[in-house]
Amino acid sequence: MGFVMNEHRLFLNGEWSDSVTGETFKDFNPATLEPIGEFQKASSDDVNRAVDSAAEAFLSWSRTPAPQRGKILFRTARMLEERKEELARLMTRENGKVLSEARGDVQEAIDMAYYAAGEGRRLLGETAPSELPDKFCLTVRRPIGVVGLITPFNFPLAIPAWKIMPALISGNTIVFKPSSDTPLLAEELIKILIQAGVPPGVINLVTGSGSEAGAALVRDRRVRAISFTGSLDTGKWILTEAGKDMKRVSLELGGKNPIIVMDDANLDLAVDGVLWGAFGTSGQRCTAASRVIVDEKVLPQFQSRLVQRAKGLRVGNGLNEGIDLGPLINGSQLARVERYVQIGQDEGAKLLLGGSRIKSLPGYFFEPTIFADVGADMRIAQEEIFGPVLSLISTTGIDEAIDIANSVPYGLSSSIYTENIKNAFRAIEEIDAGITYINAPTIGAEIHLPFGGTKASGNGAREAGTTAIDEFTNLKTVYFDYSNRLQKAQIDTEVVR
The binder of ligand NAD chosen from 16, 25, 74, 237 (CB under 6 A): 237
Strand-strand pairing, 350-353 and 289-295: unpaired
Task: Supply the minimum distance, in Å, between the C-beta of residue 2 and ligand NAD.
Answer: 28
Residue 218 engages ligand NAD in binding (rule: CB under 6 A)? yes
Let me know if 296 is a catalytic residue. no
* SS3 label, residue 209: coil
Residue 183 engages ligand NAD in binding (rule: CB under 6 A)? no
User: Smaller CB distance to ligand NAD: residue 154 or 423?
Assistant: 154
User: Smaller CB distance to ligand NAD: residue 171 or 277?
Assistant: 277
Residue 261 engages ligand NAD in binding (rule: CB under 6 A)? no
- String of DSSP letters for 153-166: SSSTTHHHHHHHHH
Beta strands in 235-377 (DSSP E): 248-252, 257-261, 289-295, 350-353, 369-372
Find the part of the chain contacting ligand NAD (CB under 6 A) among 85-93, 146-154, 339-347, 416-424: 146-154
Distance CA 282, CA 366 (A): 8
Distance CA 166, CA 179 (A): 20
β partners of residue 173:
146
Separation of CA 441 from chain center: 17
Residue 234 engages ligand NAD in binding (rule: CB under 6 A)? yes
The binder of ligand NAD chosen from 183, 210, 326, 368 (CB under 6 A): 210
Distance CA 379, CA 364 (A): 23
Distance CA 322, CA 342 (A): 30
Residue 204 engages ligand NAD in binding (rule: CB under 6 A)? no
Distance CA 193, CA 203 (A): 9
Task: Supply the minimum distance, in Å, between the C-beta of residue 215 and ligand NAD.
Answer: 4
Residue 215 engages ligand NAD in binding (rule: CB under 6 A)? yes
Q: What is the DSSP letter of 441?
A: -
Cβ count within 10 A of residue 404: 20
Separation of CA 149 from chain center: 11
The binder of ligand NAD chosen from 143, 255, 316, 354 (CB under 6 A): 255
Given the residues 101, 212, 252, 471, the one annotated as active site: 252
Task: Supply the minimum distance, in Å, between the C-beta of residue 478 and ligand NAD.
Answer: 34
Phi, psi for 400 (deg, rounded to 5): -65, -40
Task: Supply the minimum distance, in Å, between the C-beta of residue 443 and ligand NAD.
Answer: 11
Residues 6+ apart with CB under 8 A from 191: none
Let me know if 252 is a catalytic residue. yes
* Cα angle for residues 48, 21, 151 (degrees, 5° grid): 55
Residue 468 engages ligand NAD in binding (rule: CB under 6 A)? no
Task: Supply the minimum distance, in Å, between the C-beta of residue 128 and ligand NAD.
Answer: 34
Find the part of the chain contacting ligand NAD (CB under 6 A) among 229-237, 271-279, 395-403, 479-487: 229-237
Residue 381 engages ligand NAD in binding (rule: CB under 6 A)? no
Instruction: Give the dihedral sign, CA 47/53/59/61.
Output: negative
User: Smaller CB distance to ligand NAD: residue 55 or 215?
Assistant: 215
Residue 483 engages ligand NAD in binding (rule: CB under 6 A)? no
Residue 180 engages ligand NAD in binding (rule: CB under 6 A)? yes
* SS3 label, residue 93: helix
* 414: nearest Cα among 312, 325, 239, 287: 287
Residue whose beta carbon is closest to ligand NAD: 210
Residue 387 engages ligand NAD in binding (rule: CB under 6 A)? no
Given the residues 212, 286, 367, 471, the one annotated as active site: 286
Residue 229 engages ligand NAD in binding (rule: CB under 6 A)? yes
User: Smaller CB distance to ligand NAD: residue 177 or 426?
Assistant: 177
Residue 230 engages ligand NAD in binding (rule: CB under 6 A)? yes
Query: In the complex, which residues of this chain contact ligand NAD (CB under 6 A)?
Result: 150-154, 177-180, 210-211, 214-215, 218, 229-231, 234, 237-238, 252-255, 286, 384, 386, 412, 453, 457
* Residues labelled as active-site residues: 252, 286
